A and B are shown apart, each in its own frame.
Chain A
Amino acid sequence: MNAWFSQHRAALASAFRRLWSTPLNTVLSLLVIGIALTLPGFGYVLLDNLRDLGNNASGVQQISLFMNLDADKKDIGEIENRLKQAATGKWRFVPKEEALKRMQASEDMAEIVASLPRNPLPDAFIVEPTNSEPEALEILRKEIAGWPKVAHVQLDSAWVKRFDAFLKLAKLALWMLAGIFAAGLVAVTFNTIRLQVLAQAAEIEVARMIGATDAFIRRPFYYYGALQGALGGLLAAGLVFGALTLLAEPVGELAALYGGSFSLRAPGAIEVAALAAIGAFLGWLGAQLSVSLSLRKFD
Protein backbone atom coordinates (compact mmCIF):
# COMPACT_ATOMS: atom_id res chain seq x y z
CA MET A 1 0.00 0.00 0.00
CA ASN A 2 2.80 2.33 0.96
CA ALA A 3 4.73 1.40 -2.16
CA TRP A 4 1.60 1.92 -4.23
CA PHE A 5 1.08 5.36 -2.74
CA SER A 6 4.71 6.41 -3.18
CA GLN A 7 4.70 5.22 -6.80
CA HIS A 8 1.64 7.32 -7.52
CA ARG A 9 3.23 10.30 -5.84
CA ALA A 10 6.38 9.76 -7.89
CA ALA A 11 4.33 9.52 -11.10
CA LEU A 12 2.50 12.75 -10.26
CA ALA A 13 5.79 14.48 -9.43
CA SER A 14 7.26 13.26 -12.68
CA ALA A 15 4.23 14.56 -14.59
CA PHE A 16 4.70 17.98 -12.95
CA ARG A 17 8.40 17.92 -13.82
CA ARG A 18 7.68 17.08 -17.44
CA LEU A 19 5.13 19.89 -17.69
CA TRP A 20 7.58 22.26 -16.06
CA SER A 21 10.61 21.23 -18.09
CA THR A 22 9.07 22.30 -21.43
CA PRO A 23 7.35 25.55 -20.47
CA LEU A 24 6.67 26.77 -24.00
CA ASN A 25 5.02 23.51 -25.09
CA THR A 26 3.09 23.41 -21.86
CA VAL A 27 1.81 26.96 -22.21
CA LEU A 28 0.77 26.36 -25.82
CA SER A 29 -1.02 23.12 -24.99
CA LEU A 30 -2.75 24.74 -22.03
CA LEU A 31 -3.88 27.62 -24.24
CA VAL A 32 -5.32 25.24 -26.82
CA ILE A 33 -7.10 23.19 -24.15
CA GLY A 34 -8.16 26.30 -22.23
CA ILE A 35 -9.68 27.95 -25.28
CA ALA A 36 -11.33 24.71 -26.37
CA LEU A 37 -13.00 24.49 -22.97
CA THR A 38 -13.76 28.21 -22.74
CA LEU A 39 -16.28 28.25 -25.58
CA PRO A 40 -18.59 25.54 -24.24
CA GLY A 41 -17.94 26.76 -20.69
CA PHE A 42 -18.93 30.29 -21.59
CA GLY A 43 -21.93 29.02 -23.52
CA TYR A 44 -23.03 27.09 -20.46
CA VAL A 45 -22.77 30.13 -18.21
CA LEU A 46 -24.66 32.23 -20.74
CA LEU A 47 -27.48 29.67 -21.07
CA ASP A 48 -27.61 29.36 -17.32
CA ASN A 49 -28.09 33.11 -17.06
CA LEU A 50 -30.72 33.09 -19.78
CA ARG A 51 -32.60 30.34 -17.96
CA ASP A 52 -32.48 32.50 -14.84
CA LEU A 53 -33.86 35.36 -16.88
CA GLY A 54 -36.65 33.10 -18.11
CA ASN A 55 -37.46 32.01 -14.57
CA ASN A 56 -37.44 35.59 -13.29
CA ALA A 57 -39.92 36.42 -15.99
CA SER A 58 -42.17 33.57 -14.87
CA GLY A 59 -44.76 36.25 -13.95
CA VAL A 60 -45.33 36.38 -17.67
CA GLN A 61 -46.56 32.81 -17.55
CA GLN A 62 -49.91 33.81 -16.15
CA ILE A 63 -53.22 34.04 -17.80
CA SER A 64 -55.19 37.29 -17.60
CA LEU A 65 -58.93 36.81 -17.89
CA PHE A 66 -60.97 39.96 -18.67
CA MET A 67 -64.71 39.94 -18.16
CA ASN A 68 -67.27 41.70 -20.28
CA LEU A 69 -67.97 45.21 -19.04
CA ASP A 70 -71.58 44.22 -18.34
CA ALA A 71 -70.66 41.17 -16.25
CA ASP A 72 -72.30 41.20 -12.82
CA LYS A 73 -71.64 39.53 -9.45
CA LYS A 74 -73.39 36.33 -10.59
CA ASP A 75 -71.22 36.01 -13.67
CA ILE A 76 -68.09 36.55 -11.56
CA GLY A 77 -69.25 33.87 -9.13
CA GLU A 78 -69.73 31.49 -12.06
CA ILE A 79 -66.16 32.05 -13.26
CA GLU A 80 -64.86 31.61 -9.71
CA ASN A 81 -66.66 28.25 -9.54
CA ARG A 82 -65.25 27.14 -12.84
CA LEU A 83 -61.73 28.13 -11.86
CA LYS A 84 -62.15 26.16 -8.61
CA GLN A 85 -63.31 23.11 -10.54
CA ALA A 86 -60.51 23.37 -13.06
CA ALA A 87 -58.08 23.48 -10.10
CA THR A 88 -55.41 24.92 -12.34
CA GLY A 89 -53.35 26.66 -9.69
CA LYS A 90 -53.47 30.02 -7.94
CA TRP A 91 -55.84 32.66 -9.14
CA ARG A 92 -56.83 36.08 -7.94
CA PHE A 93 -59.83 38.30 -8.66
CA VAL A 94 -59.07 41.91 -9.55
CA PRO A 95 -62.28 44.01 -9.40
CA LYS A 96 -62.46 46.96 -11.77
CA GLU A 97 -62.34 49.43 -8.86
CA GLU A 98 -59.05 48.00 -7.68
CA ALA A 99 -57.63 48.12 -11.20
CA LEU A 100 -58.59 51.79 -11.44
CA LYS A 101 -57.05 52.56 -8.06
CA ARG A 102 -53.80 50.96 -9.16
CA MET A 103 -53.80 53.06 -12.27
CA GLN A 104 -54.37 56.23 -10.24
CA ALA A 105 -51.43 55.29 -8.07
CA SER A 106 -49.18 55.52 -11.08
CA GLU A 107 -48.10 59.16 -11.51
CA ASP A 108 -48.18 59.23 -15.30
CA MET A 109 -51.65 57.78 -15.44
CA ALA A 110 -53.33 59.69 -12.59
CA GLU A 111 -54.19 62.66 -14.78
CA ILE A 112 -55.62 60.57 -17.55
CA VAL A 113 -57.66 58.50 -15.14
CA ALA A 114 -59.00 61.64 -13.47
CA SER A 115 -60.21 62.91 -16.83
CA LEU A 116 -62.25 59.80 -17.50
CA PRO A 117 -66.00 60.12 -17.02
CA ARG A 118 -66.34 56.58 -15.69
CA ASN A 119 -64.27 53.50 -15.00
CA PRO A 120 -63.48 51.94 -18.38
CA LEU A 121 -61.74 48.90 -16.87
CA PRO A 122 -63.29 45.43 -16.74
CA ASP A 123 -63.25 43.01 -13.85
CA ALA A 124 -60.42 40.56 -14.24
CA PHE A 125 -58.90 37.34 -12.95
CA ILE A 126 -55.20 36.64 -12.91
CA VAL A 127 -54.51 32.91 -13.07
CA GLU A 128 -51.11 31.41 -12.31
CA PRO A 129 -51.34 27.85 -13.56
CA THR A 130 -49.29 25.20 -11.76
CA ASN A 131 -48.43 23.64 -15.08
CA SER A 132 -46.51 26.31 -16.96
CA GLU A 133 -45.69 24.16 -20.01
CA PRO A 134 -46.49 26.23 -23.10
CA GLU A 135 -48.78 23.48 -24.47
CA ALA A 136 -50.78 23.23 -21.22
CA LEU A 137 -51.10 27.01 -21.02
CA GLU A 138 -52.45 27.14 -24.53
CA ILE A 139 -55.07 24.45 -23.79
CA LEU A 140 -56.15 26.30 -20.65
CA ARG A 141 -56.39 29.60 -22.51
CA LYS A 142 -58.72 28.06 -25.10
CA GLU A 143 -60.91 26.54 -22.43
CA ILE A 144 -61.26 29.77 -20.48
CA ALA A 145 -62.00 31.73 -23.64
CA GLY A 146 -65.14 29.62 -24.08
CA TRP A 147 -66.61 30.50 -20.67
CA PRO A 148 -69.62 32.89 -20.48
CA LYS A 149 -69.08 36.65 -20.22
CA VAL A 150 -65.35 36.32 -20.82
CA ALA A 151 -64.30 39.11 -23.12
CA HIS A 152 -60.63 38.32 -23.57
CA VAL A 153 -58.03 35.86 -22.35
CA GLN A 154 -54.46 36.96 -22.61
CA LEU A 155 -51.50 34.63 -22.47
CA ASP A 156 -48.05 35.61 -23.50
CA SER A 157 -47.64 32.08 -24.69
CA ALA A 158 -45.96 32.97 -27.96
CA TRP A 159 -43.13 34.63 -26.08
CA VAL A 160 -42.85 31.74 -23.65
CA LYS A 161 -42.86 29.26 -26.50
CA ARG A 162 -40.24 31.11 -28.46
CA PHE A 163 -38.01 31.50 -25.47
CA ASP A 164 -38.39 27.86 -24.61
CA ALA A 165 -37.62 26.76 -28.17
CA PHE A 166 -34.63 29.06 -28.25
CA LEU A 167 -33.28 27.63 -25.01
CA LYS A 168 -33.72 24.10 -26.32
CA LEU A 169 -31.95 24.93 -29.56
CA ALA A 170 -29.16 26.75 -27.77
CA LYS A 171 -28.72 23.81 -25.41
CA LEU A 172 -28.46 21.41 -28.32
CA ALA A 173 -25.98 23.66 -30.10
CA LEU A 174 -23.98 23.90 -26.89
CA TRP A 175 -23.85 20.12 -26.56
CA MET A 176 -22.66 19.76 -30.13
CA LEU A 177 -20.05 22.46 -29.59
CA ALA A 178 -18.95 20.81 -26.37
CA GLY A 179 -18.70 17.43 -28.12
CA ILE A 180 -16.54 18.85 -30.89
CA PHE A 181 -14.24 20.66 -28.50
CA ALA A 182 -14.04 17.63 -26.22
CA ALA A 183 -12.88 15.57 -29.20
CA GLY A 184 -10.38 18.35 -29.97
CA LEU A 185 -9.09 18.27 -26.43
CA VAL A 186 -8.65 14.50 -26.55
CA ALA A 187 -6.79 14.88 -29.84
CA VAL A 188 -4.50 17.58 -28.45
CA THR A 189 -3.66 15.44 -25.42
CA PHE A 190 -3.22 12.42 -27.67
CA ASN A 191 -0.60 14.29 -29.64
CA THR A 192 1.30 15.80 -26.72
CA ILE A 193 1.43 12.40 -25.01
CA ARG A 194 2.61 10.77 -28.23
CA LEU A 195 5.46 13.26 -28.39
CA GLN A 196 6.17 12.64 -24.70
CA VAL A 197 6.37 8.90 -25.29
CA LEU A 198 8.78 9.46 -28.18
CA ALA A 199 10.89 11.77 -26.04
CA GLN A 200 10.95 9.22 -23.21
CA ALA A 201 11.65 6.25 -25.48
CA ALA A 202 15.03 5.52 -23.89
CA GLU A 203 13.63 5.63 -20.38
CA ILE A 204 10.69 3.42 -21.32
CA GLU A 205 12.97 0.86 -22.94
CA VAL A 206 15.31 0.75 -19.93
CA ALA A 207 12.46 0.64 -17.43
CA ARG A 208 10.90 -2.29 -19.31
CA MET A 209 14.22 -4.08 -19.31
CA ILE A 210 14.64 -3.81 -15.58
CA GLY A 211 11.21 -4.99 -14.62
CA ALA A 212 8.81 -2.07 -14.87
CA THR A 213 5.18 -3.10 -15.23
CA ASP A 214 2.96 -1.53 -17.88
CA ALA A 215 1.17 0.37 -15.14
CA PHE A 216 4.44 1.87 -13.90
CA ILE A 217 5.33 3.08 -17.38
CA ARG A 218 1.87 4.39 -18.20
CA ARG A 219 1.13 6.12 -14.92
CA PRO A 220 3.19 9.30 -15.41
CA PHE A 221 1.58 9.83 -18.82
CA TYR A 222 -1.92 9.47 -17.38
CA TYR A 223 -1.07 12.00 -14.70
CA TYR A 224 0.46 14.25 -17.33
CA GLY A 225 -2.69 14.13 -19.49
CA ALA A 226 -5.04 14.60 -16.56
CA LEU A 227 -2.94 17.40 -15.07
CA GLN A 228 -2.72 19.20 -18.39
CA GLY A 229 -6.48 18.86 -18.87
CA ALA A 230 -7.26 20.08 -15.36
CA LEU A 231 -4.96 23.10 -15.71
CA GLY A 232 -6.56 23.79 -19.10
CA GLY A 233 -9.97 23.65 -17.39
CA LEU A 234 -8.86 26.14 -14.75
CA LEU A 235 -7.50 28.40 -17.48
CA ALA A 236 -10.88 28.15 -19.24
CA ALA A 237 -12.65 29.09 -16.00
CA GLY A 238 -10.35 32.10 -15.73
CA LEU A 239 -11.17 33.13 -19.31
CA VAL A 240 -14.90 32.78 -18.62
CA PHE A 241 -14.54 34.97 -15.51
CA GLY A 242 -12.62 37.49 -17.57
CA ALA A 243 -15.30 37.57 -20.27
CA LEU A 244 -18.07 37.96 -17.67
CA THR A 245 -16.20 40.82 -16.03
CA LEU A 246 -15.92 42.59 -19.37
CA LEU A 247 -19.60 41.96 -20.11
CA ALA A 248 -20.92 42.91 -16.67
CA GLU A 249 -21.14 46.65 -17.32
CA PRO A 250 -22.75 46.59 -20.78
CA VAL A 251 -25.24 43.98 -19.60
CA GLY A 252 -26.11 46.12 -16.59
CA GLU A 253 -26.66 49.14 -18.84
CA LEU A 254 -28.81 47.12 -21.20
CA ALA A 255 -30.89 45.79 -18.33
CA ALA A 256 -31.30 49.33 -16.97
CA LEU A 257 -32.60 50.47 -20.36
CA TYR A 258 -35.36 47.86 -20.03
CA GLY A 259 -36.08 49.09 -16.55
CA GLY A 260 -34.79 45.95 -14.85
CA SER A 261 -31.79 45.01 -12.86
CA PHE A 262 -30.10 41.95 -14.22
CA SER A 263 -26.54 40.92 -13.63
CA LEU A 264 -24.64 37.97 -15.06
CA ARG A 265 -24.10 35.21 -12.57
CA ALA A 266 -20.48 34.00 -12.55
CA PRO A 267 -19.76 30.28 -12.28
CA GLY A 268 -19.43 29.01 -8.71
CA ALA A 269 -16.70 26.91 -7.13
CA ILE A 270 -18.52 23.70 -8.06
CA GLU A 271 -18.76 24.72 -11.70
CA VAL A 272 -15.07 25.68 -11.81
CA ALA A 273 -14.19 22.34 -10.22
CA ALA A 274 -16.43 20.58 -12.75
CA LEU A 275 -14.64 22.32 -15.62
CA ALA A 276 -11.27 21.22 -14.23
CA ALA A 277 -12.60 17.70 -13.69
CA ILE A 278 -13.95 17.49 -17.23
CA GLY A 279 -10.59 18.73 -18.52
CA ALA A 280 -8.79 16.16 -16.38
CA PHE A 281 -11.04 13.35 -17.57
CA LEU A 282 -10.66 14.24 -21.24
CA GLY A 283 -6.90 14.63 -20.80
CA TRP A 284 -6.73 11.26 -19.11
CA LEU A 285 -8.79 9.75 -21.94
CA GLY A 286 -6.45 11.22 -24.56
CA ALA A 287 -3.43 9.96 -22.63
CA GLN A 288 -4.98 6.52 -22.31
CA LEU A 289 -5.59 6.24 -26.06
CA SER A 290 -2.21 7.68 -26.93
CA VAL A 291 -0.17 5.56 -24.52
CA SER A 292 -1.96 2.38 -25.61
CA LEU A 293 -1.08 3.07 -29.24
CA SER A 294 2.38 4.57 -28.71
CA LEU A 295 3.65 1.87 -26.37
CA ARG A 296 2.86 -0.94 -28.80
CA LYS A 297 6.16 -0.50 -30.57
CA PHE A 298 8.04 -1.18 -27.33
CA ASP A 299 6.68 -4.71 -27.13
Chain B
Amino acid sequence: MIVASNLSKRYPGGYEALKDISFEISAGQMVFITGHSGAGKSTLVKLIASIERPTAGSLVVNGQNLSALRRSAIPYVRRHLGMVFQDQKLLFDRSALDNVLLPLQIAGLPRREAIRRASAALDKVGLLAREKANPIALSGGEQQRLAIARAVVNRPTVLLADEPTGNLDSDSAADILEIFAEFHQVGVTVVVATHDQSWIERYHPNVLRLDHGRLVA
Protein backbone atom coordinates (compact mmCIF):
# COMPACT_ATOMS: atom_id res chain seq x y z
CA MET B 1 0.00 0.00 0.00
CA ILE B 2 2.78 2.42 1.02
CA VAL B 3 6.35 1.48 0.10
CA ALA B 4 9.35 3.73 0.82
CA SER B 5 12.81 2.86 -0.51
CA ASN B 6 15.88 4.86 0.49
CA LEU B 7 13.64 7.84 1.00
CA SER B 8 15.31 11.15 1.85
CA LYS B 9 14.06 14.68 2.24
CA ARG B 10 16.43 17.59 2.36
CA TYR B 11 14.98 21.09 2.71
CA PRO B 12 16.44 24.08 0.91
CA GLY B 13 19.19 25.33 3.20
CA GLY B 14 20.52 21.84 3.78
CA TYR B 15 18.45 20.56 6.68
CA GLU B 16 17.93 16.81 6.19
CA ALA B 17 14.58 15.86 7.71
CA LEU B 18 14.58 12.23 6.52
CA LYS B 19 17.68 10.19 5.83
CA ASP B 20 17.55 7.11 3.65
CA ILE B 21 14.53 5.38 5.19
CA SER B 22 12.83 2.27 3.80
CA PHE B 23 9.64 0.58 5.00
CA GLU B 24 6.51 -1.07 3.72
CA ILE B 25 2.98 -0.64 5.02
CA SER B 26 0.56 -3.22 3.67
CA ALA B 27 -3.14 -2.72 3.07
CA GLY B 28 -5.29 -2.81 6.19
CA GLN B 29 -2.42 -2.21 8.62
CA MET B 30 -2.54 0.27 11.46
CA VAL B 31 0.82 2.01 11.73
CA PHE B 32 2.05 4.63 14.16
CA ILE B 33 4.90 6.90 13.22
CA THR B 34 6.55 7.96 16.47
CA GLY B 35 9.60 9.85 17.59
CA HIS B 36 10.67 12.99 19.35
CA SER B 37 9.70 16.39 18.14
CA GLY B 38 11.70 17.18 14.99
CA ALA B 39 12.39 13.51 14.26
CA GLY B 40 10.76 13.81 10.83
CA LYS B 41 7.22 12.49 11.54
CA SER B 42 5.43 15.40 9.92
CA THR B 43 7.81 15.39 6.97
CA LEU B 44 7.02 11.73 6.34
CA VAL B 45 3.28 12.47 6.52
CA LYS B 46 3.69 15.36 4.08
CA LEU B 47 5.59 13.15 1.68
CA ILE B 48 2.87 10.47 1.80
CA ALA B 49 0.23 13.15 1.17
CA SER B 50 2.42 14.56 -1.62
CA ILE B 51 2.35 17.96 0.02
CA GLU B 52 6.11 17.77 -0.37
CA ARG B 53 8.34 15.77 -2.68
CA PRO B 54 11.19 13.47 -1.73
CA THR B 55 14.67 14.67 -2.69
CA ALA B 56 15.94 11.09 -3.09
CA GLY B 57 14.59 7.55 -3.09
CA SER B 58 11.09 6.53 -4.01
CA LEU B 59 7.74 6.53 -2.28
CA VAL B 60 4.91 4.49 -3.76
CA VAL B 61 1.37 5.02 -2.46
CA ASN B 62 -1.54 3.05 -3.93
CA GLY B 63 0.73 1.94 -6.76
CA GLN B 64 1.70 5.53 -7.67
CA ASN B 65 5.31 6.58 -7.42
CA LEU B 66 5.01 9.99 -5.80
CA SER B 67 8.53 11.11 -6.71
CA ALA B 68 7.71 10.88 -10.40
CA LEU B 69 4.19 12.27 -10.16
CA ARG B 70 3.08 15.08 -12.44
CA ARG B 71 1.72 18.08 -10.58
CA SER B 72 -1.66 17.69 -12.25
CA ALA B 73 -1.97 14.10 -10.98
CA ILE B 74 -1.55 15.03 -7.32
CA PRO B 75 -5.23 15.87 -6.64
CA TYR B 76 -6.33 12.42 -7.79
CA VAL B 77 -3.77 10.73 -5.51
CA ARG B 78 -5.02 12.78 -2.57
CA ARG B 79 -8.60 11.71 -3.14
CA HIS B 80 -7.67 8.18 -2.11
CA LEU B 81 -6.19 9.56 1.06
CA GLY B 82 -8.09 10.76 4.11
CA MET B 83 -6.11 13.46 5.88
CA VAL B 84 -6.47 14.58 9.49
CA PHE B 85 -4.32 17.40 10.83
CA GLN B 86 -3.47 18.58 14.31
CA ASP B 87 -5.14 21.92 13.52
CA GLN B 88 -8.20 20.43 11.90
CA LYS B 89 -8.25 22.91 8.99
CA LEU B 90 -12.02 23.18 9.16
CA LEU B 91 -13.85 25.97 7.36
CA PHE B 92 -15.69 28.25 9.74
CA ASP B 93 -17.81 29.97 7.10
CA ARG B 94 -20.11 26.96 6.74
CA SER B 95 -21.89 24.26 8.69
CA ALA B 96 -20.40 20.99 9.86
CA LEU B 97 -22.31 19.18 7.11
CA ASP B 98 -20.95 21.54 4.44
CA ASN B 99 -17.42 20.90 5.69
CA VAL B 100 -17.92 17.18 5.19
CA LEU B 101 -19.56 17.77 1.80
CA LEU B 102 -16.51 19.53 0.37
CA PRO B 103 -14.53 16.41 -0.68
CA LEU B 104 -17.64 15.03 -2.36
CA GLN B 105 -18.24 18.29 -4.25
CA ILE B 106 -14.63 18.13 -5.39
CA ALA B 107 -15.19 14.55 -6.56
CA GLY B 108 -18.29 15.75 -8.41
CA LEU B 109 -20.88 13.61 -6.63
CA PRO B 110 -24.56 14.45 -7.19
CA ARG B 111 -25.76 16.57 -4.28
CA ARG B 112 -28.39 14.17 -2.97
CA GLU B 113 -25.93 11.27 -2.86
CA ALA B 114 -23.29 13.57 -1.35
CA ILE B 115 -25.60 14.63 1.49
CA ARG B 116 -26.49 11.02 2.18
CA ARG B 117 -22.85 10.04 2.46
CA ALA B 118 -21.84 13.11 4.46
CA SER B 119 -24.62 12.41 6.96
CA ALA B 120 -23.45 8.83 7.27
CA ALA B 121 -19.88 10.02 7.93
CA LEU B 122 -21.12 12.47 10.58
CA ASP B 123 -23.14 9.68 12.16
CA LYS B 124 -20.05 7.49 12.27
CA VAL B 125 -18.15 10.04 14.38
CA GLY B 126 -21.19 10.82 16.53
CA LEU B 127 -21.87 14.32 15.18
CA LEU B 128 -25.07 13.78 13.20
CA ALA B 129 -27.05 15.84 15.71
CA ARG B 130 -24.67 18.77 15.15
CA GLU B 131 -24.63 18.75 11.37
CA LYS B 132 -26.03 22.26 11.14
CA ALA B 133 -23.66 23.71 13.73
CA ASN B 134 -20.79 25.93 12.72
CA PRO B 135 -17.51 24.18 13.57
CA ILE B 136 -16.56 27.15 15.73
CA ALA B 137 -19.34 26.11 18.12
CA LEU B 138 -17.90 22.60 18.52
CA SER B 139 -15.47 21.50 21.24
CA GLY B 140 -11.87 20.58 20.35
CA GLY B 141 -12.68 16.88 20.35
CA GLU B 142 -15.80 17.42 18.26
CA GLN B 143 -13.84 19.50 15.78
CA GLN B 144 -11.32 16.72 15.39
CA ARG B 145 -14.10 14.19 14.91
CA LEU B 146 -15.59 16.47 12.27
CA ALA B 147 -12.20 16.54 10.56
CA ILE B 148 -12.17 12.74 10.60
CA ALA B 149 -15.66 12.64 9.08
CA ARG B 150 -14.40 14.89 6.28
CA ALA B 151 -11.35 12.64 5.82
CA VAL B 152 -13.33 9.41 5.52
CA VAL B 153 -16.40 10.62 3.61
CA ASN B 154 -14.66 9.84 0.31
CA ARG B 155 -14.05 6.25 1.53
CA PRO B 156 -10.28 6.54 1.22
CA THR B 157 -8.04 3.47 1.23
CA VAL B 158 -5.60 5.21 3.54
CA LEU B 159 -6.40 7.36 6.57
CA LEU B 160 -3.44 9.59 7.35
CA ALA B 161 -3.24 11.67 10.52
CA ASP B 162 -0.59 14.06 11.82
CA GLU B 163 -0.72 14.47 15.62
CA PRO B 164 -4.52 14.25 15.59
CA THR B 165 -4.75 14.43 19.39
CA GLY B 166 -2.05 17.03 19.91
CA ASN B 167 -4.47 19.69 21.11
CA LEU B 168 -6.93 17.45 22.97
CA ASP B 169 -7.45 16.35 26.55
CA SER B 170 -6.92 12.66 27.22
CA ASP B 171 -10.61 11.69 27.10
CA SER B 172 -11.17 13.31 23.73
CA ALA B 173 -7.89 11.86 22.49
CA ALA B 174 -9.08 8.39 23.51
CA ASP B 175 -12.33 8.96 21.55
CA ILE B 176 -10.39 9.95 18.45
CA LEU B 177 -8.13 6.96 18.72
CA GLU B 178 -11.11 4.67 19.14
CA ILE B 179 -12.54 6.00 15.90
CA PHE B 180 -9.25 5.33 14.08
CA ALA B 181 -9.28 1.78 15.49
CA GLU B 182 -12.80 1.27 14.15
CA PHE B 183 -11.74 2.30 10.65
CA HIS B 184 -8.79 -0.02 10.91
CA GLN B 185 -11.15 -2.85 11.82
CA VAL B 186 -13.18 -2.34 8.64
CA GLY B 187 -10.05 -2.61 6.52
CA VAL B 188 -8.82 0.94 6.10
CA THR B 189 -5.07 1.43 6.24
CA VAL B 190 -4.48 3.82 9.13
CA VAL B 191 -1.25 5.79 9.49
CA VAL B 192 -0.94 8.08 12.49
CA ALA B 193 2.02 10.25 13.37
CA THR B 194 2.12 10.88 17.12
CA HIS B 195 4.50 11.40 19.97
CA ASP B 196 1.98 9.89 22.40
CA GLN B 197 3.47 6.60 23.65
CA SER B 198 0.39 5.57 25.65
CA TRP B 199 -1.46 4.70 22.45
CA ILE B 200 1.04 2.07 21.47
CA GLU B 201 0.58 0.10 24.65
CA ARG B 202 -3.13 0.11 24.13
CA TYR B 203 -3.49 -0.77 20.44
CA HIS B 204 -0.24 -2.57 19.65
CA PRO B 205 0.02 -1.15 16.16
CA ASN B 206 3.01 -1.49 13.87
CA VAL B 207 5.42 1.28 14.73
CA LEU B 208 7.81 3.29 12.63
CA ARG B 209 10.10 5.03 15.11
CA LEU B 210 12.08 7.96 13.78
CA ASP B 211 15.12 9.52 15.37
CA HIS B 212 16.73 12.55 13.79
CA GLY B 213 15.38 11.57 10.39
CA ARG B 214 16.46 7.92 10.57
CA LEU B 215 14.26 4.91 11.03
CA VAL B 216 15.20 3.13 14.25
CA ALA B 217 12.41 0.54 14.58
Contacts and interface: CB of A to CB of B under 8 A. Distances in A.
Interface of A: 2-4, 6-7, 10, 202-203, 205-214, 216
Given A2-B110, A6-B111, A202-B91, A209 B83 contact: yes
Interface in B58-99: 72, 75-79, 81, 83, 89-93
Contacts of A202: 89, 91-92
Contact of A211 (B51, B78, B93): B78
Interface of B: 49, 51, 72, 75-79, 81, 83, 89-93, 102-103, 105-111, 150-151, 154
Contacts of B108: 3-4, 6-7
Given A210-B102, A210-B150, 9 more contacts: A3-B110, A203-B93, A210-B151, A210-B154, A211-B75, A211-B106, A211-B154, A214-B75, A216-B75
Contacts of B77: 211
B51 A3 contact: no
A209 B89 contact: yes
Contact of B107 (A10, A209, A211): A211
Contacts, number: 58
Interface centre among B49, B78, B151 (most CB of A within 10 A): B78
Contact of B106 (A2, A4, A205, A210): A210
Contact of A213 (B72, B89, B93): B72
Contacts of B49: 209
Given A3-B109, A10-B105, A216-B106, A210 B78 contact: yes
A207 B78 contact: no
Contact of A207 (B76, B92, B106): B106
A203 B91 contact: yes
14 contacts: A3-B109, A7-B108, A202-B91, A203-B93, A208-B75, A209-B89, A210-B79, A210-B102, A210-B103, A210-B151, A210-B154, A211-B76, A211-B81, A213-B106
Contacts of A205: 89
A123 B81 CA distance: 97
Contacts of B72: 213-214
B79 A211 contact: yes
Interface centre among A7, A210, A216 (most CB of B within 10 A): A210
Contact of B110 (A6, A208, A209, A210): A6
A210 B150 CA distance: 9
B75 A206 contact: no
Nearest to B110: A6
Given A203-B91, A207-B106, A213 B111 contact: no
Nearest to A210: B103
Contacts of A203: 91, 93
A216 B79 CA distance: 14
A145 to B, nearest CB: 75
A213 B151 CA distance: 17
